[in-house]
């Protein structure tokens, strides 16, 4: 049977539509929109194929079968179209009574079609093909057809009027695509058969071609049903199958034809093996060629999402510098998404642009515009999907296509702005998914970089302040050194100037006291002379202490070490202080009869022992005892001054060796004791200069032990 060209075209068109139905269904088998639209496409396939086979039917029985098939498809199409339009616009299945009504009407027509002659009365063969005489139920069917199709278009039109952005664009393409076969089929396939003309029924299915073309365009350009990847994948398989079938079939046909006259079994085997070899060798290269070609058709700027996310993650992990981070991210997005312009903005008062790419094509935006866009509730705004007309106007005016909020918790970190694609493509679902994955990671990275910048700025500020403070301290230190030098000079000068008249006063007092033995001065005069003498001694002691402190702190105290017997030195001090001890009936003695040699400055060590014994006598009550002990421990000599006086509280011991470290508790107990508060401070410094150590142990009410240790000589 020879197929007319029109029927060949009908069947090829049916195959293409069936392929489109398959990929729509495979994309999301659970989505009722995909399922209902796939069924609608398949019904158009059955309709076209049934008309083709009806035209080619050689017998009455086959013609009747295929004509009934035509009207089965024609009966189901309005109901399925209404179902699809309802689901597409309402995003859920219609209510149950709606479905019952629809399938009830369909059942009535199908019963009439198969079991009565109310629809098809008879078929008559003519020179132009089969002529069909239709029954009375055809007119109610026409009414049903127009009502249900009109009802479906009403759903689409109503949704179109209330929608905006990408949904409106998708509805526009769906509306136009379905309008072609519906309107195109009304006259040749609905009205003319009712008027008795069956010759033009093949024209209706031809309008499925623009429907498929428009839907394919909407899939590629406007994310219709989100099946671009599936279309690309199955297009490769379909083209590969058609190409292999046609090329290899033709090769085999020509080879067989050439060998047909004298073909033997070995020749047949050889021909088959050669054909199989050609198929095996060329299959993989041909598949790769078709994949590349289809990818260029559907994905002119394709990329692997996982690989891009990994690249972005590495870029974010590779730097803490804010500008470097922003430039790295924009460079990757520029390579993958190819926006005409892009920018990353930090939120705040004021907003600050971290990085821009091709800013002459728009972004940057003014702060007021950024705040207006950011006031939208959605975390990611796409220009083609916006429903707010004022917001859409802002996007169009500034050539902005995508606005992504960068949020960490409840903190707005910044915004990612992308302009329209340089290729004029839309941002596909893959692009939106990539940006949704990137947004939280980029927000955290920007927040970390912001904190790093703040820490760095704080460190720089702190460094500058420390530098300034150090310079100020140096100046203050120099000033203090100058003041300290002036103080030492003043003390030295004052001491010299004070000691000279004090020495004269002390000399005259001694002369008068000595003279009183001859002239028998009155007791009152002697008492007053003794008071003058004691006051003079205290002032001389104070001056000596001040000079010692000045020399110690300025580092000018020079030691003149010599080998000396510390036991003998202690005996001298005790002898000298016996009169003071006797005045209070205090027993003052020394233990250790054997010499103990040390290497030290004799004058300074004498000051140490004298000071410690003098303190012990001051703070020991009448009738007490003070003992000086010496002992050798390894390479050191230990000297202790023990008393059974008032003792020292544990909390007061750290104050003993400080300048002017007089203890109030001690003064309260012994009000007549007087001193400068410098004695023990000088004692410890002298011991330290000799490389020795100083320690105190005391029990309040029982006494104290002052011990110093010096290297043995």
Question: 311 and 294 in one domain?
Answer: no
Residue pair 617/580 in contact by the 8 Å Cβ criterion: yes
Nearest to 174 by CA among 296, 298, 37, 305: 37
- pLDDT of 627 reads 94
Question: 97 and 184 in one domain?
Answer: yes
- pLDDT of 457 reads 85
- pLDDT of 29 reads 67
- pLDDT of 325 reads 87
Q: Where does a domain end: 400, 423, 452?
A: 452
**Three-state SS at 320:** coil
pLDDT band of 585, cuts 50, 70, 90? very high
- pLDDT of 229 reads 47
Q: What is the DSSP string of 65-85?
A: HHHHHHHHHHHHHHHHHHHHH
Q: Where does a domain end: 298, 313, 332?
A: 298
Question: 166 and 27 in one domain?
Answer: yes
Question: 258 and 177 in one domain?
Answer: no
pLDDT in tens, 318-333: 888 888 888 888 889 8
- pLDDT of 1 reads 40
- Residue 130 belongs to a domain with what CATH number? 1.20.1070.10
Tell me how far CA of residue 151 lies from CA of 40, 41, 145, 158, in angstroms. Answer: 16, 19, 10, 11
Residue 362 tokens read as 């728009």
Question: 115 and 20 in one domain?
Answer: yes
Max avg pLDDT among 108-122, 254-268, 560-574, 580-594: 560-574
Q: Is residue 282 in some structural domain?
A: yes
Residue 399 tokens read as 């050539």
Residue pair 711/692 in contact by the 8 Å Cβ criterion: yes
Give percent of the chain above pLDDT 90: 12
Tell me, what DSSP letter sits at residue 584?
A: T
Pairing mode, if any, of strands 587-590 and 625-633? parallel
Question: 184 and 36 in one domain?
Answer: yes
pLDDT band of 613, cuts 50, 70, 90? very high
Helix (H) or strand (E) holding 34: helix 32-56
Question: 132 and 16 in one domain?
Answer: yes
Residue 183 tokens read as 């309107």
Q: Is the pLDDT score of 598 beyond 90?
A: yes
Residue 386 tokens read as 């916006």
Tell me, what DSSP letter sits at residue 190?
A: I
pLDDT in tens, 464-521: 989 998 888 888 888 888 877 777 677 666 666 666 677 777 676 777 766 666 566 6
pLDDT in tens, 81-107: 888 788 877 777 788 777 777 778 887
Give 710's strand partners.
637
Q: Is residue 548 in some structural domain?
A: no
- Residue 616 belongs to a domain with what CATH number? 3.30.565.10
Q: Is residue 253 in some structural domain?
A: yes
pLDDT in tens, 426-444: 777 778 888 999 999 988 9
Q: Is residue 498 in some structural domain?
A: no
Give percent of the chain above pLDDT 70: 75
Residue 510 tokens read as 């001694």
Q: Is residue 556 in some structural domain?
A: no
Lowest-confidence pick of 197-211, 575-589, 597-611: 197-211
pLDDT band of 708, cuts 50, 70, 90? very high
- pLDDT of 672 reads 47
φ, ψ for residue 379, nearest 5 deg: -75, -20
CA distance 665 to 687: 26
Q: Is residue 427 in some structural domain?
A: yes
CA distance 498 to 337: 94
CA distance 287 to 297: 15
CA distance 529 to 550: 32
Question: 587 and 674 in one domain?
Answer: yes
Exposed e or buried b for every residue in 488-498, given b needs 16+ CB within 10 A? beebbeebeee
Q: Is residue 437 in some structural domain?
A: yes
pLDDT in tens, 666-683: 443 444 445 667 788 888
Q: Is residue 485 in some structural domain?
A: no
Tell me how far CA of residue 658 lies from CA of 272, 544, 610, 617, 665, in angstroms. Answer: 114, 17, 19, 21, 16
Domain holding 363, by residue range, is 305-452
- Residue 355 belongs to a domain with what CATH number? 3.30.450.40
**Three-state SS at 261:** coil
Q: Is the pLDDT score of 222 beyond 50?
A: no
pLDDT band of 215, cuts 50, 70, 90? low
More confident residue, 560 or 27: 560
Max avg pLDDT among 211-215, 269-273, 282-286, 573-577: 573-577
Question: 197 and 57 in one domain?
Answer: yes
pLDDT band of 531, cuts 50, 70, 90? confident
- pLDDT of 370 reads 83
Tell me how far CA of residue 333 lies from CA of 344, 417, 499, 584, in angstroms. Answer: 11, 11, 90, 98
Q: Where does a domain end: 252, 281, 298?
A: 298
Helix-helix angle 165-186:138-162, to 10 degrees: 160
- pLDDT of 247 reads 55
- What is the rounded average pLDDT of the residues 117-137? 85
Helices (H) and strands (E) in the chain, counts: 21, 14
- pLDDT of 106 reads 80
| Structural domains of the chain, count | 4
Tell me how far CA of residue 283 lies from CA of 241, 293, 486, 524, in angstroms. Answer: 10, 15, 103, 139
Question: 174 and 80 in one domain?
Answer: yes
CA distance 505 to 512: 11
Tell me the average pLDDT of the chain. 78
CA distance 640 to 650: 19
Question: 595 and 697 in one domain?
Answer: yes
Q: What is the DSSP string of 532-571?
A: HHHHHHHHHHHHHHHHHHHHHHHT------EEEEHHHHHH
Q: Is the pLDDT score of 154 beyond 80?
A: yes
- pLDDT of 641 reads 95
What pTM value is reported for the model? 0.43
Question: 257 and 190 in one domain?
Answer: no
pLDDT band of 234, cuts 50, 70, 90? very low
- pLDDT of 564 reads 92
pLDDT in tens, 239-290: 555 555 555 555 555 555 555 555 555 555 565 566 656 666 666 676 666 5
- pLDDT of 651 reads 86
End-to-end Cα separation, the chain, in angstroms:
136
Is the preceding omega at residue 21 within 30 degrees of 0, hence cis?
no
Residue 118 tokens read as 């109310």
Query: What is the number of alpha carbons within 13 Å of residue 415 lying toward its C-beta?
Result: 29
């Amino acid at each position: 049977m020879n197929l007319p060209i029109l029927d060949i075209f009908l069947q090829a068109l049916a195959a293409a539509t069936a392929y489109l139905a398959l990929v729509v269904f495979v994309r999301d088998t659970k989505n009722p929109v995909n399922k209902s639209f796939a069924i609608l496409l398949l019904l158009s396939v059955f309709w076209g194929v049934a008309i083709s086979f009806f035209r080619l039917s050689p017998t009455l029985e086959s013609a009747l079968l295929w004509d009934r098939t035509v009207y089965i498809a024609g009966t189901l199409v309005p109901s399925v179209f209404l179902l699809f339009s309802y689901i597409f616009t309402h995003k859920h299945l219609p209510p149950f009574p709606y479905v019952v009504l629809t399938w009830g009407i369909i059942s009535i027509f199908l019963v009439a079609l198969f079991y009565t002659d109310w629809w098809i009365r008879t078929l008559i063969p003519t020179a132009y093909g089969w002529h069909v005489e239709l029954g009375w139920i055809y007119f109610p069917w026409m009414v049903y057809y127009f009502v249900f199709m009109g009802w479906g278009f009403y759903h689409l039109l109503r949704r179109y009027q209330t929608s905006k952005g990408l949904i409106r664009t998708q509805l526009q393409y769906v509306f136009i695509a379905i309008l072609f076969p519906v309107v195109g089929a009304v006259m040749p396939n609905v009205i003319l058969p009712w008027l008795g003309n069956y010759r033009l029924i093949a024209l209706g299915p031809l309008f499925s071609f623009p429907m498929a073309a428009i839907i394919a365009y909407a899939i590629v350009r406007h994310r219709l049903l989100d099946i671009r990847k599936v279309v690309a994948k199955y297009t490769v398989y379909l083209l590969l199958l058609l190409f292999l079938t046609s090329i290899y079939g033709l090769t085999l046909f020509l080879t067989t034809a050439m060998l047909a006259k004298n073909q033997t079994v070995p020749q047949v085997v050889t021909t088959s093996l050669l054909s199989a070899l050609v198929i095996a060798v060329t299959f993989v290269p041909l598949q790769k060629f078709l994949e590349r070609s289809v990818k260029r058709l559907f994905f002119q700027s394709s990329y692997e999402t996982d690989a891009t996310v990994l690249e972005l993650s590495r870029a974010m992990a590779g730097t803490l510098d804010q500008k470097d981070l922003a430039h790295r991210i924009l460079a990757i997005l520029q390579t993958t998404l190819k926006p005409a312009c892009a920018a990353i903005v930090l939120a705040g008062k004021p907003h600050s642009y971290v990085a821009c790419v091709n800013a002459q094509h728009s972004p940057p935006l003014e702060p007021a515009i950024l705040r207006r866009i950011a006031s939208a509730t959605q975390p990611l705004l796409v220009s083609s999907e916006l429903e707010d007309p004022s917001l859409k106007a802002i996007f169009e005016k500034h050539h902005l296509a995508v606005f992504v909020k960068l949020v960490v918790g409840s903190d707005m970190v910044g915004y990612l702005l992308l302009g329209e694609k340089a290729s004029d493509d839309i941002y596909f679902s893959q692009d939106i998914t990539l940006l949704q994955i990137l947004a939280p990671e980029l927000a955290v990275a920007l927040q970390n970089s912001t904190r790093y910048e703040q820490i760095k700025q704080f460190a720089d500020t702190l460094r500058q302040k420390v530098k300034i403070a150090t310079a100020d301290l140096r100046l203050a230190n120099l000033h203090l050194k100058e003041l300290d030098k002036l103080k030492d000079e003043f003390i030295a000068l004052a001491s010299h100037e004070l000691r000279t008249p004090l020495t004269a006063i002390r000399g005259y007092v001694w002369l008068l006291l000595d003279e009183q033995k001859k002239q028998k001065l009155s007791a009152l005069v002697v008492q007053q002379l003794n008071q003058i003498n004691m006051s003079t001694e205290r002032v001389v002691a104070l001056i000596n202490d001040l000079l010692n402190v000045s020399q110690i702190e300025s580092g000018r105290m020079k030691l003149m070490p010599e080998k000396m017997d510390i036991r003998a030195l202690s005996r001298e001090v005790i002898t000298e202080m016996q009169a003071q001890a006797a005045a209070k009936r205090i027993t003052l003695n020394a233990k250790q009869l054997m010499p103990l040699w040390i290497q030290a400055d004799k004058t300074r060590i004498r000051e140490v022992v004298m000071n410690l014994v003098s303190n012990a006598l001051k703070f020991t009550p009448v009738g007490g005892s003070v003992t000086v002990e010496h002992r050798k421990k390894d390479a050191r000599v230990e000297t202790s001054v023990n008393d059974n006086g008032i003792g020292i509280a544990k909390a007061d011991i750290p104050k003993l060796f400080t300048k002017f470290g007089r203890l109030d508790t001690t003064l309260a107990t012994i009000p007549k004791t007087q001193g400068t508060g410098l004695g023990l401070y000088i004692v410890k410094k002298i011991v330290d200069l000799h490389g020795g150590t100083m320690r105190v142990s005391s029990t309040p009410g029982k006494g104290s032990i002052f011990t110093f240790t010096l290297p043995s000589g």
